[in-house]
Amino acid sequence: MKLIIAVLLGSSLLLSCSGPGNEFRYQTDALDWGTDTCLVYGHKAPDVDAVASSIALSRLMCSLGHYCEPRLAGPANRETKFVSGRLGFSLPIVQESVLPGTRIILTDHSEYAQSVNGVKEAKVLQIIDHHPGGDIDGVPFVVCDKIGAASTLVWELYGKAGVEVDNATASVLLSGILSDTHFLTKNATQRDSTALLSLAAQLDMGAEQLAELSKGMSEADSDYSGMSDTEMYLDDVRDYVMSGRQVRIGSLDWAGHEALDAFLDRVLGAMHSLDDGKTLYFAKVDARADDGTAVSYILYSGAEAEKTALACFGKPVREGVCRSSRKINRKYDLVPMLTKALE
């Protein structure tokens, strides 16, 4: 049996996602819950996993006697609206800022730049994140594990707590894992597979149904019809602080809806219009080469962003655009590359 590991790091307790329910409940009960509602947030520009993990975690905390409500730090994207409609779960209300002292829990992120406005003056009780550790510190309960989806971590926490996942919550968690792992084809671990297949079996969903749902989610995610160029860029954007610099990175999928050069021009135009000289603007656009190979284009705006992009990817293929010969991942490839170049 896998050993259970609990490591004290500063004031935060980093936990593996296995263990007796009474231990997990004790650790959760020991947090400073106060008497007001605790709000559970995913990151800004919330995607399916951010929304799903915050909904499911708030339900788990409520089942343990701690009143929590999920919130959105910004409007839900099209993929989230599609899958919530398809699977029949309601989306939380949008509340883009919190008052000082508000008790909050964060899922799917651990960066101040990506979090709800007011987070620095709030009381963060928990972070549940599947990305490398961010800059939000001093949190008493942290689960940070580099796997495919934050929703997988939340599913595992249900097991730690000894709380059954009801069918309504199973649909929510399934959507988060399906989205962030692209049906187990992107950054998925065995733990993500175990969680997804368990949830699918509970909901009596077979492989064909999962594939059909995943296809619909992917199509919704890359459907920018009716959006302005700026809305398209901001639809899936993340903010970072790298060596003291504010960095913003959008992630888009060309999907062949229009000519590639025209699509890149739209994204560049949006970045130029937003560029105030204080933030380095980048975008990752996934596409396919003429031979069908998956590639990524890295777009940049401004002199410092250009210098950084060229240090990472070499000579641009056109003004404002570099090209990677393979499809890259924003959090595991592009962010580390830009971070190193800016050091």
The answer to whether residue 224 sits within a structural domain is no
119: left (phi over 0), alpha (psi -120 to 50) or beta: alpha
pLDDT in tens, 32-89: 999 999 999 999 999 999 999 999 999 999 999 999 999 999 999 999 999 999 999 9
Task: Round to whole Å and give the CA distance between 303 and 211.
Answer: 43
Find, among 106, 142, 148, the residue nearest to 130 by Cα: 148
Please tell me whether residues 198 and 294 are part of one structural domain: no
Same domain assignment for residues 128 and 241: no
> Is 183 inside a domain boundary?
yes
Specify the CATH number for the domain of residue 310: 3.10.310.20
Q: Which of 185, 216, 247 is the last residue of a domain?
A: 216
One domain, residues 23 and 146: yes
Q: How many CA atoms lie within 13 A of 198 on its CB side?
A: 19
Read off φ and ψ for residue 112, nearest 5 degrees: -55, -40
Smallest CA-to-CA distance from 330 within 40, 15, 43, 52 is with 43
Give a yes or no: residue 102 inside a domain.
Answer: yes
- Judge whether 221 lies within some domain: no
The answer on 212 and 84 residing in a single domain is yes
Q: Report the CATH number at residue 184.
A: 3.90.1640.10
Range of the domain at 321: 229-342
Same domain flag for 18 and 129: yes
pLDDT for 21: 58
SS3 297: strand
Closest CA to 150 of 110, 112, 114, 204: 110
pLDDT at 14 over 70: no
Determine the average pLDDT of the residues in 105-132. Answer: 96
Among the three residues 216, 246, 263, which one is the final residue of a domain in this structure? 216
CA distance 50 to 70: 10
- Within this chain, do residues 165 and 192 fall inside the same structural domain, yes or no? yes
Are residue 183 and residue 266 in the same domain, yes or no? no
Query: Look-up: residue for tokens 């003429």?
Result: 290
The pLDDT value given to residue 31: 97
Does residue 267 fall inside a structural domain? yes
148 part of a folded domain: yes
Do both 69 and 169 map to the same domain? Answer: yes
Domains: count for the chain? 2
Instruction: Check residue 113 and report its DSSP letter.
Output: G
Q: 168, 189, 216 — which closes off a domain?
A: 216
Residue 319 has, within 13 A of its CA and on its CB side, a CA count of 6
Same domain? For 177 and 264 the reply is no
pLDDT, tens digit, 9 for 90 and up, residues 231-245: 999 999 999 999 999
CA angle 187, 137, 49 (to 5 degrees): 30
Answer yes or no: do 41 and 152 share one domain: yes
Query: Which helix H or strand E contains 89, and what residues bound it?
Result: none
171 and 250 together in one domain: no
pLDDT confidence of 292, banded at 50, 70, 90? Answer: confident
Cβ neighbours for 1, distance < 8 A, ≥ 6 positions apart: none
Q: Residue 13's CB: how many other CB atoms inside 10 A?
A: 17
> CA 27, 69, 193: angle at the middle one, nearest 5?
70
CB atoms within 10 A of CB 100: 9
At residue 109 the predicted structure's pLDDT band, cuts being 50, 70 and 90, is very high
Q: What is the reported pTM?
A: 0.88
253 with 172, same domain? no
**What's the CA gap between 143 and 158, in Å, rounded?**
13
